Structure 1
Amino acid sequence: MDIKQLRYFEAVAKHLSFSRAAEHLHIAQPALSMSIKKLEQQLALTLFHRSDRKISLTDEGNELLRHARVILRNMADAEHAMQQLRGIQRGVVRVGIPSMLGSYHFPPILMAFKHRYPELDLEVIEGGTWQIQQQLERGELDLGVIVAELVPDSLCATVFLQQEVMVTVSREHPLAAQQQVTAKQFFEQELVMFKEGYFHRKVVDRLANQTGATPKISFETNLVPLIKSIVKQGFGISTLLGMAVDDDQDLVALPFAEPVILDLSLAWSRDRHLSVANQTFLDFVLEHSCANK
């Protein structure tokens, strides 16, 4: 047993619902269910009655809940005491995030961070990876999201998320019936692209150089909703991360025939010391991103 398992167990016991508990914890429901199952296996006990989509605590679950609440309360008190000793109750985190991740990956993480550390000020700046890199080097940002392979020697970085770049088309597009898209097929289409300096544009430009293709770019914009709208209306195709397309019934996300995988990193200046507040945010993002993989 560890603290995370007890925290997950207490949330499920409180809400008596895996879905509501997962939403409260800002993690994926399958990850939560797996954690509880592992806890039951480790204890060789059944903690919840499961029937007809309803759950309730077993006698063993009620006994564990009594101990778990004491442990979690003591842990919270200890964390609060240590935060005060470290000065974590004050500080500013300035972080640069590309628009797609800012719209689809980071909102629940940022809200959860502010809930746990309400006294910390969080400044989020949207920008392309090149712009974020320059701001990090100039000391205008404390942390920033950039692609791992683009991290220069002037920055330190740690990978927090791996995502596949997907060809995105409307449901009526001829490519929508395929299982994958070749680079040649992609560059034969009219493209809706991010402007230069954004990691998705860098991926497409690199792919074009590798294949000797000349992209036919009809629209350039950094607004994800506008890109999706243009693609839906059939005026071109684009590349997006799966997270931006998963819940959109009017779009189809297809992998490249040779998959394009991005390792996304949180980076900071090698010449600047990370404050306690910044290190806390970095650790928090790593913890929550891993929990949602």
Structure 2
Amino acid sequence: MLSIAVALMYFKGLHYFYEVAKRGSFTLAAEQLHIAQPAVSMAVKKLEQSLELTLFHRVERQISLTDEGQRLYRQAERILQAVADAELEMRELRGLERGSVQLGTPSMLGSYHFPSIIMAFRRRYPNLTFTVHEGGAWQLQTMLERGELDLAVIEAEAVPDTIQAVPLLREEMRVVVNAAHPFAGQGSVTPQAFLGEDLVLFREGYFHRKVINQMAEQYGIAPKINFETNLLPLIRSIVKQGSGISTLLTMATEDDPDLITLSFNPPVMLDLCLAWRKDGYLSKANRAFVDFVLESSRL
């Protein structure tokens, strides 16, 4: 068994190696670690010597991972995350942290679904800190798998085995137009008709865009996308001005009488879940939030 001193030496080298590989630069890694670059280079060199492997190709100030380096990078990511989880668990056992929650959520839910839940949660647990990260569903799932988020709202469809998920909500994707648009007087809109209009959509990576991409592929129609933006107020404004139509969750349109919403024919439903890593440590603060969200959804 390794002594603590040797284990710490290996861990430091592994940590430095991971930061260099992640950023593709010894200089950027040193800046992130707040240490001198020669110290990073020396630690990585010692790690290579101890493993008797070359981890980086070094050609004219450019570096890239060798095959061995790529394998170690994947292992290092898991090891470093496990150590971070263990440190958090030990700090909680010692009572040194009040606790924090980091939640990743798509912008529509961040704007319309979670504010009241988060405020109620803060009233119940005033000493906990809360951070919300907005992003696309695929981006949030990737951040969750990497340990960059504690919790994330992701699509319920095809949840990977590494993720634990509980159902959060089911919402309808509605066609959104202004009052002057020809669709405004209809009861519903077919996907073919929708795809033939000038569209304003979220960028790639958001569940909103994925729905349209799947629809376009199913019907073999290339959508006419006039605007791409992740700013929900801008999408609503463009639709109101008649410069395009969109599709949004019901919750994002209920407070605006200037927007007309219609169902797709057939209706398009979206299932979302609250998720976290199966192999990660879910802190007391995060467990409290999960329980609170599930309790709120039952009310």
| TM > 0.5 | yes
Residue in structure 1 matched with residue 109 of structure 2 by the alignment: 101
Q: 2:182 aligns with which of 166, 174, 180?
A: 174
Q: Which amino acid aligns with 2:218?
A: Q
Structure 1 residue 279: Cα displacement: 1.0
Name the CA distance, whole Å, in 1 between partners of 2:245 and 2:269.
Answer: 19
1:192 equivalent in alignment to 2:204: no
1:163 equivalent in alignment to 2:171: yes
Name the CA distance, whole Å, in 1 between partners of 2:96 and 2:128.
Answer: 8
User: Aligned in 2, Cα 1:191/1:127: closer, same or farther, shift over 3 Å?
Assistant: same
Contact 1:98 1:127 (8 Å CA) reproduced: yes
Residue in structure 2 matched with residue 153 of structure 1 by the alignment: 161
Residue in structure 2 matched with residue 48 of structure 1 by the alignment: none
Q: Secondary structure at the match of 1:255?
A: strand
Q: 1:228 aligns with which of 228, 236, 242?
A: 236
Name the CA distance, whole Å, in 1 between partners of 2:96 and 2:105.
Answer: 23
CA offset digits 1:176-226 (Å, max 9, x no partner): 100110001101100000000001001110111111111110000001100
Contact 1:88 1:277 (8 Å CA) reproduced: no
Structure 1 residue 88: Cα displacement: 11
Q: Secondary structure at the match of 1:108?
A: helix
1:290 equivalent in alignment to 2:298: yes
Structure 1 residue 101: Cα displacement: 0.5
Structure 1 residue 135: Cα displacement: 0.6
Q: 1:113 aligns with which of 113, 121, 126?
A: 121
Residue in structure 2 matched with residue 8 of structure 1 by the alignment: none
CA offset digits 1:54-100 (Å, max 9, x no partner): xxxxxxxxxxxxxxxxxxxxxxxxxxxxxx99969821111101111
Q: Which amino acid aligns with 1:165?
A: M
Q: 2:271 aligns with which of 257, 263, 269?
A: 263
CA offset digits 1:110-163 (Å, max 9, x no partner): 101111001111111111111101110110100000110042222111111110
1:214 equivalent in alignment to 2:230: no
| 1:6-85 paired onto structure 2 within 5 Å | none
Residue in structure 2 matched with residue 122 of structure 1 by the alignment: 130
Q: Any unmatched runs of 5+ in structure 2?
A: 1-91
Name the CA distance, whole Å, in 1 between partners of 2:298 and 2:221.
Answer: 36
Name the CA distance, whole Å, in 1 between partners of 2:296 and 2:254.
Answer: 20
Q: Which amino acid aligns with 1:175?
A: F
User: Aligned in 2, Cα 1:261/1:91: closer, same or farther, shift over 3 Å?
Assistant: same
Residue in structure 2 matched with residue 183 of structure 1 by the alignment: 191
1:275 equivalent in alignment to 2:287: no
Name the CA distance, whole Å, in 1 between partners of 2:218 and 2:241.
Answer: 30
Contact 1:167 1:255 (8 Å CA) reproduced: yes
Name the CA distance, whole Å, in 2 between partners of 1:106 and 1:233.
Answer: 28
Q: Any unmatched runs of 5+ in structure 1?
A: 1-83
* Larger CA Rg, structure 1 vs 2: 2
CA offset digits 1:217-273 (Å, max 9, x no partner): 000000110000000000110010111111111101111001111111011112212
1:253 equivalent in alignment to 2:253: no
User: Aligned in 2, Cα 1:114/1:120: closer, same or farther, shift over 3 Å?
Assistant: same
Name the CA distance, whole Å, in 1 between partners of 2:241 and 2:220.
Answer: 29
Query: Number of residue pairs matched?
Result: 208
Q: Which amino acid aligns with 1:231?
A: V
Q: Please give the root-mean-square deviation of Cα atoms over the aligned residues, in Å.
A: 1.8
Name the CA distance, whole Å, in 1 between partners of 2:279 and 2:129.
Answer: 23
Q: 2:148 aligns with which of 129, 140, 145?
A: 140
Percentage identity across paired residues of the two chains:
60
TM-score normalized with structure 2 length: 0.67
